[in-house]
Structure 1
Amino acid sequence: MMIALLMVFVFITLTDISLILGGIILPFTVYFLVKLKHESNYHFWLTFVSFLIPAVFLLSATVWLWYLLLYLLAVVLHRTLTQNMSQELTLFYVTAALALGTLGGLNIMQWTGAIRPLSDVYMNFRDWYMGQLDMYGEFAVSQMDTGLISQTLDQIFISLPAYITLISFALALYTVLMLRLILKPSLVKLWEYRSFKDWKFPRFILYLFLISFIVSFFTTEGTTFFSTMNNIIIVLEWVLYIHGLSFAYFFFREKRLHAALSVLLLIPLVILKPLTLLIGIFEMIFRLRTIIELKRK
């Protein structure tokens, strides 16, 4: 318990210095919390309560949110381990917990006045940035480029929930992989592991993507519904992109290419996202993986 308390203190301290440092040390802190919860559920929640009240009065709002996400992540990971879930399903639950926890926490903090509305923060940043462009515009960009930059910044802000989800997935993947390395020597049974070539997503992802894509043509730009559909499309695009990468790696391995060569061949597909996205869509439509597996038999 004392080691877990120490790691939580280190996590809070480093996160207060930089959110990036908090993200780096996150898997190691989660490891001790998961281990503590495995040994004693009472002591796990005791550590949570021990830091909760001081955290409210002494920490900034963002660090306090990180603290809550830390324990939420530990609970979810412990649950996936005790339920013998697969690694892919664990990544889904951890990503959902991080994304929904972050979005929910930000909305609550804005509603309670703990932080300024993100729209106000964005507008101040955009006004400052566009002012800098106007000041040094003759050396940097034309009037047309300035308008394009302004629209791009607006689009990024509108798509913020989608990007938070993608960052949550990257953080979930990093945490799960690090925990796999740390927990390997322990007695805790790890998640069922599948090679990346065996990763595949259900077909309803494609249906949801196509429906969202079609509906987006009938929405008015600038409305809340348009923003929601745009965020859904961005997230689904990345799911199909990963599905395409997985199928490409599966195809290379089926052709008996060496693993190192297969990874090298994936590099252009990682860079050429539109092409990989199309591969993922075509695989889902024509079930190419299933056809190849049936021919193998």
Structure 2
Amino acid sequence: MNNTAVQPKALRAPGARGSLMKRLIRNRYMYLMILPGLIYFIIFKYLPMWGLIISFQDYMPYKGFFGSDWVGLKHFQRLFTDSEFWVIFKNTLILFVINILFYFPVPILLSVMLNEVANAFFKRFVQTIVYIPHFISWVIIVSISFVMLTLDGGIINEMLVLLGFQKVNFLMSTSWFHPMYIIQVIWREAGWGTIVYLAAIAAIDPQLYEAARMDGAGRFQQIWHITLPSIRSVIIVLLILRIGNVLDLSFEHVYLLLNSMNRQVAEILDTYVYTTGLKQGQFSFSTAVGFFKSFVGLFLVVVSNRLAKKMGEEGIY
């Protein structure tokens, strides 16, 4: 009896391998499409993780990974006892909260508004217009802002003077840094962020809207009771992914806005890593900062995903 029980299992193994190969061959084009992204993550995300070892060393480039002195948690102790680090950490969290409160809802609202547009030509035209800023580099966007906001001939300040107000030094002001930052983020990324939401809205069964109209539901009632609940799972997933990037803001954007006058509110972890690591040559300490940043992001993804599942959502894993 035991032999007959084991034999079918052994016989199924080659067939399982054969069916796997058949599926790979049948879906080969799909896997070929995935391959570039997979290679990208392996080369630029997973292999560099080996370099985290230098956060526990006094790394010297000429000594390499194995020749540098091992110092344990020395750089992490310096990190958590450095008052400057906690100021920078606070600045990073403030920018993240601003992103969540003011940027994250904008693509959702914009997607719902675009979905309500009946004229197909006008809808495609607006989509094209709001997508374009995403393909403009931060250098160009910050340069445009500089030209518009500068004290010397900036159009905004010239309009303020014409209206009887005094000129405002937007670029050097600590109080104007956060509004200037989030306006630029919304203008550049809001349109691009609508792609996923519009795809989710397009998958909603039209019969739900027809049934709601027959019951007397207006446009806003249909949006509130059908559209938003139907894309709720997509919103939760994207929110979890956004939370995972809590300390990973756009380095290029903030670095271009950073100057000696607004540094106390504009310096974030990404610019701090660049300054200490590349400019000052403190490779081990800057790696420890990056390690801490990645750990916080991973922790928040796990916690937010668990909370999402407790609320009845699927989460990201």
TM-score class, shorter-chain normalisation, is: under 0.3
TM-score (norm 2): 0.25
Higher relative contact order (CA 8 A, sep 6+): 2
| Larger helix proportion of the pair | 1
